[in-house]
Every structure is written in structure tokens, then in C-alpha cells.
A and B are shown apart, each in its own frame.
Chain A
Amino acid sequence: MKSESLSNLQSVLDKGKFAVTSECGPPRGADPEIIRKKGELLKGYVDAVNVTDNQTAIVRMSSIAACTHLLQMGLEPVMQMVTRDRNRIALQSDILGAYSLGIKNILCLSGDHQTFGSQPDAMNVFDIDSINLVNMVKAMKTEGKDMSGFALISPPKMFIGAAANPFADPFEYRVIRLAKKIDAGADFIQTQCVYNLERFRQWMYLAHEEGLTARTHILAGVTPLKSEGMAKYMANRVAGMEVPESLIKRMEGVPKEKAAEEGIKICVETIAMLREIKGVHGIHIMAIEWEEKVGQIVEEAGLLPRPQADWHGGL
């Protein structure tokens, strides 16, 4: 794919190793200790850590700042960036700033609509969409230019990610849109949490048929279920999420105090099945406010030790 790795995550993927990434939600406050504590829980278990950008449209410490805290403790961040809150000028400026701080991976998203957040009275931006954002970061990397065509002095060269939701509708169009993201420059793809393996396999098959799995690294998303309630919430209340009835039954079937354990078991089993699917190059563990379980999941999935970071990038 690429001859020279731009980040540790890219280095792991390019070597054909099964990548493991996780997620870290910045705090609703200015205390860096919270992000450091979360980072500490993930150290040694993952190749890179996604830092969300005001996820669910709730104000949190900025992704760039939280990424920087992680970098300082030797963790590689994947900076999430949404087009909801910033126009193209602010997006480009923040990308330059982030790269100057040593952030090498970016995940380009449109972002949850503000009506889902704590400040639904806010104005949104959506100057450009997520595919336009991918294209912008790619132009910086390959042509060294910003959106105006200006040749940047020391252009940022980021490893570019995008999201895909195999469970949203219309299904047959999902793969076409994935192709569009890859054409725009997505080096890796993180998927929505996979619970419905059958539908995911079908989507991967279509992606493979289109030749897409050879052109990008697909990281399958997983989220351990904490309880029966969470399973039902994910199934019924989160748009674009699909939790099969059988999984809900399974969570229902265990006593409350064993539910978390069962959720982790399901997650580990899911990872094992995902590893068997052609074209899946890694997993992205989204343990929502449950970072302390990531290590256990990675260990039980047999994904330890993580490859030594032999990537010596830097500025």
C-alpha cells in the first residue's frame, strides 16, 4: 500500500499485523489527569487510541488537546475530527496545528447532529462533508496543498481514516459510499460496532467483490455490552446500530451481576469471528466509559503482545 509508514498504526497495518485500536472520550472539563488515567489503562494493549471530537455533540476537552496529552505519555492518538463545528478554514488550520504537535492519524467524520447533544440550540456548520474532509487531508498529503491550492510549507502527511456503517440503509449503497471514501483518500476505515455478523460478512463480501479490501485497511468496530439494558438501548435507540435478538436474549439470560462478564465474552467471541473474515485488518474497540476492560478484551482475544513500536516517526 504505502512504502513509508506515516504512523505506528500504519506501520502495524502495512506489516500485515492485525491492528488493535481503542477509544478515549475526553472529559467534560479541563483536567488532563482524566485523559491520562484513561490512557494509562490502554497503554500496551492497543496500537493507537481514537480521541473523539465532542462526541454526541456534547462539549468536551478538544480532541487536539486530549491527543497531545496522550502523545506526551507515549500513546499514539487517532484524532477524530467532525465537520459539524468548524468550517473548512478552521478544519485546515486545526489539521496543521495537530500535525505540528505530532498527531499523525486522523479520522474524518461528519459528526453527530447537534440536536442529539446537550446544546441542541446550537447552529451547525457542515460547510463540507466527511468525504470532502478526507479529500482535503489527502490533498495536503499527496500534493502538499491546502484547499485553495496553496503549496503549504511543510504540509501535514497524515494517515487518513474514515468511518463506515454497514448497518445503515440503503444497504446496497453502503459499499458504493465506502468506495467513494477510499477514492477520496481513506487509508483505513473504522466500522460501526458489529453485533450482526451476518450482515457485516455480507457487507465485507460486497466490499471485497468491488476490490475495496485491497485498497484500504478495514478495522471492525466492537463495543462490549455492559448490561441487558444497554443491549436494548443500542438496538432500539441508536440509529444505524443493529443488535440481533439472539444477543439481547443472551444478555437477558444471565443474572445481573454476571451481565458485564457475558458482554465481554460476547465481545471476545465477536473478535474471533471478525479475524476470520477476509479483508478485516484489525479491530477498533469502543468500550464506552469502560476503558478498564479493554486490556482484558485484548488479552482474552489472544491479541497480546502488541507489536513493538519500531516506528520512529517524528517531525
Chain B
Amino acid sequence: MIVGKQKSIAEIKEIISPYKKLLVLGCGTCVKTCFAGGEDEVAALSSALRLAFRKDGKDIYIEELTVERQCEDEFIREAAIAISKNSAVLSLACGAGVQAIARRFSDVPVLPGVNTTFIGVLEKQGLFTEECLGCGDCKLAVFGGICPVSRCAKKIQNGPCGGSRNGICEVNPDTECAWQQIIMRLKTLGQLDNLRKYNPPKDWRPSHAGGPRKLVREDHII
């Protein structure tokens, strides 16, 4: 899923300050799962903002709504009436959701309420970890299902570097060395020979380095 983190109340207050009528728009997919922008977070944030503005002696009207997915036009349409009644939208979706709303409602200011952080997994309750950089050329077959592009601070293809100690990355003591993980996993799989193979320089063309990407599915074009 796409993992995001809600911005601080202070930052949100700052960016919504020019507006008197605001729609706080949640998204019921990824950001809901990571507790950043689902229905519950929309309600909690709206209450907090109302309180904060009242405390400052300022007037603001806040409406709440959550759609299933802000990155799909079909669901965005459901927000049309609510958007037309307000002077701005505070979107709690990922950056794609924010832009999809902006694209459909070209004359309405759309403001981000969430920092989109990474593509990751829920490792355990309350802990999300980055597992994919969307590089567009997946080599997980070679690395025993553990990604050195997203999980190694140096994206090393032929690791581990000299900074791996007791399975921990030198860059951050809270981070496991991805290469230690790769080695352990390959050992379990009986594929340690993979470690002797030279992994050539990565082809970054399918990644963001090649510019904004598009996926065309001819078979789905109507």
C-alpha cells in the first residue's frame, strides 16, 4: 500500500488559513489502512481543527467526507456536491489523490493534509516499513525477495557494504541491513550462489529517472 503520515495541525492550520469553508476529504483505501486519511482520521482532524480555530477566535466551517478512492474518477465524482459548497478542499489522500481531485475540479484549491511517504507494508501493528521504490524493473528473484533498491540506503546491487554490523545498517541503528537479510534468506532457500553473481549497473529507465511514467493497457482502452 501507499503509506502516508498526516501533517501536523500547525502546518494544516497554516495552509487552510485563507479559507472560511473547507471540505476535509478522506480516502478509504491506502491512507485509511495506515491511519492517515480514512473516515476516522477525517473526523478526528476536523474536530481538532474546529477546536483550534475556535481557540484562536477564528471562524471556520468544516465539512467532512470520505470517498472510497481519490485516485479514481468514478469515486471522486461522489465528492462533487460537497466540493461545490466549499471554498477549498483539504485532501487526506496520497499525492496522487490530491492531484486527481485538482485535475477534476480545476477551479477549487486542493490542499494536501498528508505527507505521502512510501510504498510499504504493515510489518506489525503500528509499524509500516518501506519495501518498494517503484523502480519499474523488479529484480527480487535474484535477491531472495528482499529489495536492495528500497531497503539499502545506498541501493547497493552487490552488497553488503562495509557498514553492515550485526545485521544492522550503519546509517540508522533502527534499520536492518537489507543485504544481511538477503544473505539469510538466500541461505534458507539454498540459493547462496546468487551472491557470487555480479549484478550489473541497474537500468533506471523504467524508474522515475526516465521522467513521469505512464502505463498504457491497450486491451483496456474503450
Contacts and interface: CB of A to CB of B under 8 A. Distances in A.
A165 B170 CA distance: 14
A132 B200 contact: yes
Contact of A124 (B154, B164, B177): B154
Interface in A148-190: 163-165, 168-170, 173, 176-177, 179-180, 183-184
Interface residues of A, number: 33
Given A115-B171, A180-B198, A183-B198, A129 B162 contact: no
The prevalent SS among residues of B at the interface is: loop
B163 interface: yes
Contacts of A129: 154-159
B89 to A, nearest CB: 30
A113 interface: yes
A315 interface: no
A180 B158 contact: yes
Given A128-B202, A168-B160, A240-B170, A113 B196 contact: no
B166 interface: yes
Contact of B195 (A110, A135, A164, A176): A176
B201 A168 contact: no
A116 B153 CA distance: 12
B162 A168 contact: yes
A170 B162 contact: no
A239 B168 CA distance: 10
A126 B162 contact: no
Contact of A240 (B157, B158, B162, B180): B162
Contact of B183 (A113, A173, A179): A173
Q: Which of B153, B166, B201 has the most CB of A within 10 A?
A: B201
B156 A110 contact: yes
B183 A170 contact: yes
Contacts of A20: none
B161 interface: yes
A86 interface: no
B165 A169 contact: yes
A272 interface: no
A169 B164 contact: yes
B117 to A, nearest CB: 16
A177 B163 contact: no
Given A115-B171, A132-B157, A132-B158, A170 B164 contact: yes
B177 to A, nearest CB: 8
Contacts of A173: 160, 183, 195
Given A132-B200, A176-B196, A170 B154 contact: no
Nearest to B152: A126
A192 B165 CA distance: 14
User: Lowest 9 A-B CB distances belong to which pairs?
Assistant: A165-B162, A239-B170, A131-B158, A240-B162, A128-B201, A239-B163, A168-B162, A132-B201, A126-B155
Interface of B: 153-167, 170-172, 177, 180, 183, 195-196, 198, 200-202, 204
Given A131-B158, A168-B163, 13 more contacts: A88-B201, A116-B171, A127-B204, A129-B154, A129-B155, A130-B161, A135-B200, A164-B162, A169-B165, A170-B160, A173-B195, A177-B158, A240-B162
